[in-house]
Homo-oligomer: A and B are copies of this chain.
Amino acid sequence: MSTARRSADYVIVGAGVSGLTAARRLAGAGKSVVVVEASDRVGGRTVNLDVGDGVITEGGGQWVGPGQDSVLALIDELRLDTFKTFVDGKSIYLRNGKTKKYDGTVPPLSPLVLADFAQLQIRLERMARSVPIDEPWRARKARAWDSRTFGHWLDANAWTDEAKLILTVALTVTNAEDLHSTSMLVQLQRIAASGGLNHMIEITDGAQESRVVGGSALIAQRMADALGPDVVLDSPVTEIRQDADGVLVRSARVDVDAKRVIVAMSPADVGRIAIADLPARRRMLQRRLSGGSESKLFAVYDTPFWREQGLNGQALTDLPMAGYVVDNSPPDGSVGILLTFVGTAGAGYGLHWPDAVLDDPDARRDAFLQALTTLFGPQAAHPIAYLEKDWTHEPWISGCVASRPPGLLTQYTDADRTPVGRIHWAGTETAVLNQGYLDGAVSAGERAAREVLAGESAPSQGESRSATSDRAATTLAASSANG
């Protein structure tokens, strides 16, 4: 295979939502771009899974909601439609083998558990208010919060196992990682930056309110269609070089000369690319981040039969294989789809799955269907299809959203998004608002596009880099003085 050589104003590495958004904004500003993508498709961590008969379900990021202005504006601009996540009917709450059905968003809890949930929420939101969302490492208690996990805080502060279960199930899904691995400070930043705890975990008026008609993968697809041959697939980037005049991005199928590059990948995957002279903070961040270990499991039925029973398909449970279940049927309800999330190494509340469930797709399927049967009755045992999306087996993506373990945010601060000369960074992991969501991918791509456009009139070492150094020098001086 011969390697072509192209020139453009800017080159973007990664044709996910973030990279394509950056490319679209630059093209819209009259600049020439080339987007280089390792895999054979666009979309990154959004993908439509084919259910048959023209129906899809979403293997990756899929929800949008109020407050997520960047992605909502982009969806509108792309002339895509949204529809509401199905919520009509009762939800199921199951704990200790007892099933309760309820209307609205709050499960039927005892006054004690409700009070516990309230005190946890008040504490979390009070702490979150003291976290600067763009610089969480500057919170007064940043070091203490970044040196424990959210699970450790929850174990120490919850009065009841039941409130702990509910928060754990809800937040494990949004974190894509075991809460006993993820930093408390990261959790507080996310609560602060996504409109509060209720907004994070709720459907109606929350971050899971709406879906894209035709699937979230259409966002990237429409942007790629508009860019046409400027999106090069099947072309893993192997090296990025830069000098005073520009960058050279080398990939399997094309080498691109440009003024600047936007790397729109999870920092956990950037280590695949040879880049000389990365700052230590950036290099270590890339090494120490890893993709989230969450998978999505889907059972597809010829009809959303639970709706006829007055159920909306939602469940919040202590069942290991179905902690949180939600109706993921297409807007017309032509088939019924139930979705759950599982972590690769165990759920978030003290559970370790047998290796059979972790490593054997058939055993996993059986365990999931058994849980659904417990929740929705014998009809759930007989799906017309079963699908999984395990992001830990992708060739070019090492997991779903990367979640920072303790210490990373305070040690590496803004290395995720600080430009390195002519190299800029996008991807939802670099977003300030709604990090980990589709909205974060879009806003990060737009921020990176603004950076490179501003860079044309600025020196190649971005201002934010110098600002970081200045702050660190101040910290060192203070620490030495106090030492």
A residues near B, CB below 8 A?
A: 95-97, 143-144, 146-149, 151-152, 155, 178, 180-181, 277, 279-281, 283-284, 287-288, 290-291, 293, 318-320, 344-346, 350-359, 392, 398-399, 405-408, 410-413, 465, 468-469, 472-473, 475-476, 479-480, 483
Contacts and interface: CB of A to CB of B under 8 A. Distances in A.
Given A287-B291, A288-B290, A352-B479, 15 more contacts: A144-B155, A147-B151, A147-B180, A148-B149, A149-B406, A181-B411, A283-B392, A287-B290, A287-B392, A351-B475, A352-B476, A355-B465, A355-B469, A355-B472, A356-B473
Contacts of A318: 483
Nearest to A95: B483
Contacts of A181: 147, 405-408, 411
Per assembly, the copies of the chain total: 2
A158 to B, nearest CB: 13
* Interface-centre pick from A96, A152, A469, A480 (highest chain B CB count, 10 A): A152
A411 B290 contact: no
Contacts of A392: 280, 283-284, 287
10 contacts: A143-B155, A146-B180, A147-B181, A148-B152, A180-B411, A181-B405, A284-B293, A287-B291, A352-B472, A405-B407
B472 A345 contact: no
Contact of A411 (B346, B356, B480): B346
Given A281-B345, A287-B290, A355 B468 contact: yes
Nearest to A317: B483
A288 B290 CA distance: 6
Contacts of A346: 411
B476 A280 contact: no
Contacts of A97: 483
Contact of A406 (B180, B279, B358): B180
Contact of A287 (B357, B398, B408, B469): B398
Contacts of A465: 355
A358 B149 contact: no
